[in-house]
Amino acid sequence: MDVDGDWPVFFTGGEEDVMAWLRGSGVERIRVEYTDYAGIARGKAVALTQFEHVLNHGVAFCATVFAFSVTADVVMGTDYAESIGYGDLIVKPDLSTLRLLRHEGGAAQVMGKVVWPNGTSLEGCPRNVLERVTQRAADMGFSAYAAPEFEFYLLNENHELIDEGLQCYSMQKRTEFLAEELMLLEAASSHGQLENSHYEYGPGQYEVTMRYREIRRMADDGHLFRATLKEAAMNMGRRITFMAKPFDGVTGNSCHIHMSLTDKDGKNIFAAPEQPDHISDPCRYFIGGVIKHMPELTAIFFPNANSYRRLVPANFAPISLVWGIDNRTTAIRVLNETPEATRAELRVCGGDIHVHLAFAAYLAAGLDGIAKNIDPGAASSGDLDEQNVKRLPDDWGKALDAFDGSDWVKEALGEEFCRNYSVVKRHEYDAFRRTVHDGERKTYVEFL
């Protein structure tokens, strides 16, 4: 594929133009993709000669994908497996997401909308969940914008650390692995503008910040960014993990989510230069909704057993259900260096989040706060890890109980989604509880 100019290269024409654009770009195959409940990219690579048919009819795949655990076990009890005879769903390409790939020659990539064979939307699909929440924002007169900061570890082929020691922001350490970093960032540039990258607090750990964008497009870009980085690393004999706490004794991976809302005129409604702290009442109410609903949404923000390994004091992972102005120890950190850049940063999540679901949950809670004028209380200051304040649930089982017991979550995210997500995550939780882990054996086997 020979494409000149800046990346990313997105398709911006109409359906009648797409085949000519693909041929002119040297595309031989199109990856039609979607995401399961673990945030794993799944799909099919469609030959260019078949893509016109796919535009009209979509691509069929087994609905059981939405009954997969993270290890692709088929979980019984969902709406998508044995109860429907392991039948099909359809993914219909969303051409607004069509892009060329840098790390796979001759390939383009497109996300799709998942529907039943009769054309009705699959309510349990994560991407469709975000679409519904975004529509709720539009109905309230708002557009949502978001940007994630992804942390990850660059590892060898055996998923082991390639470095040692702590040298956060070190340009010398960055230079040591510069060739690999640049290859990864080149591949990732297929998925939107990358604002910056740096060497992080762990050995071989990096952080990449993506450019603010409309929330649905940003969710697609963020999801594909992570998947592409993992693929590109494999192509160079490395591995990447976004796992929340992959190693003992070193920092975990976070994903901080920046979000703001604009009105119909494109004005940032979080900004209020004339108000105390320069933030508006809607911004405060948005934060109030997120803090109120955080316990019910913990099972979304912390989606697996390892997610909770980060939730310990003095670990650069906020555990306190409070907010503050430029305070990295609070669950929500408000940044307001300029009015147009005023935003709320959700700092609790790990790198293992499901991007679409985390965005949907964060936005839904904030919108509820605005709708109900939920007061978050005064901004907190100091190190909140050392203060007696309300904490996040730090147990996966308790988080799932709170999720299952919340009528508001079912209303906000959809009853069908909540029911099926819970079945899959309960299966994963039960499997984890039944497993004897190496750390337990090492601690107890000799003495007990």
Query: What would the DSSP string read from start to end of 281-304?
Result: HHHHHHHHHHHHHHHHHHHHHS-S
Number of alpha helices (DSSP H) and beta strands (DSSP E) in the chain:
12, 15
Is residue 291 a contact partner of residue 322, using CB atoms and an 8 Å limit? Answer: yes
What residue spans define the domains of the chain? 15-122, 131-417
* pLDDT tens-digit readout, 171-193: 888 888 888 888 998 998 888 88
* pLDDT tens-digit readout, 196-252: 999 899 999 999 999 999 999 999 999 999 999 999 999 999 999 999 999 998 999
Indicate if the pLDDT at residue 116 is higher than 50. yes
CA distance 264 to 336: 21
Q: Selecting from 2.60.120.1440, 3.10.20.70, 3.40.50.300, 3.60.15.10, what CATH number does the domain 15-122 have?
A: 3.10.20.70
Degrees (nearest 5) of the Cα angle 390, 392, 394? 130
Helices (H), 88-212: 126-139, 171-176, 178-188
Indicate if the pLDDT at residue 3 is higher than 60. no
pLDDT for 1 equals: 41
CA distance 168 to 191: 26
pLDDT for 385 equals: 64
Fold assignment, 131-417: Creatine Kinase; Chain A, domain 2 (3.30.590)
Is residue 279 a contact partner of residue 334, using CB atoms and an 8 Å limit? Answer: yes
Degrees (nearest 5) of the Cα angle 246, 249, 255? 45
Task: List CB contacts of 34: < 8 A, sequence separation 6 or more.
Answer: 41, 42, 43, 65, 91, 111, 112, 114, 125, 127
Tokens 């595309």 found at: 27
Beta partners for residue 103, in sequence order: none
pLDDT for 275 equals: 86
Q: Please determine whether the domains at 15-122 and 131-417 fall in the same fold group of CATH.
A: no
pLDDT for 387 equals: 66
- 424-429 CB contacts, 8 Å cutoff, 24+ apart: 424/37, 424/67, 424/68, 424/69, 424/75, 424/78, 425/37, 425/299, 425/303, 425/400, 426/400, 427/69, 427/73, 427/75, 428/69, 428/70, 428/304, 428/305, 429/305, 429/396, 429/397, 429/400
pLDDT for 12 equals: 94
* pLDDT tens-digit readout, 149-164: 999 999 999 999 998 8
Tokens 């290269």 found at: 9
pLDDT for 312 equals: 78
Q: How do beta strands 107-115 and 29-35 pair?
A: parallel
Task: List CB contacts of 166: < 8 A, sequence separation 6 or more.
Answer: 201, 202, 203, 250
What's the mean pLDDT in 71-89? 97
What's the mean pLDDT in 384-409? 88
Whether the full predicted model's pTM is greater than 0.75, yes or no, is yes
Please give the single-letter amino acid code of residue 191. H
pLDDT for 273 equals: 87
pLDDT for 384 equals: 66
pLDDT for 274 equals: 87
Indicate if the pLDDT at residue 405 is higher than 70. yes
The DSSP 8-state label assigned to residue 73 in this structure reads P
pLDDT for 192 equals: 83
* pLDDT tens-digit readout, 104-113: 999 999 999 9
Is residue 129 a contact partner of residue 254, using CB atoms and an 8 Å limit? Answer: no
CA distance 128 to 121: 7
pLDDT for 380 equals: 82
Per cent of the chain over pLDDT 90 is 78
What's the mean pLDDT in 30-38? 97
Indicate if the pLDDT at residue 4 is higher than 60. no
55-64, 263-272, 367-376, 391-400: which has the minimum mean pLDDT? 391-400
What's the mean pLDDT in 393-400? 94
CA distance 339 to 346: 19
How many C-beta neighbours within 10 Å does residue 352 have?
26
Tell me what the pLDDT averaged over the chain comes to: 93
Nearest to 206 by CA among 181, 187, 182, 235: 181
CA distance 439 to 441: 5
* pLDDT tens-digit readout, 260-277: 999 999 999 999 988 878
Per cent of the chain over pLDDT 70 is 97
* pLDDT tens-digit readout, 318-360: 888 999 999 888 999 999 888 888 999 999 999 999 999 999 9
- Between the alpha carbon of residue 313 and those of residues 384, 386, 392, the distances in Å are 9, 8, 12
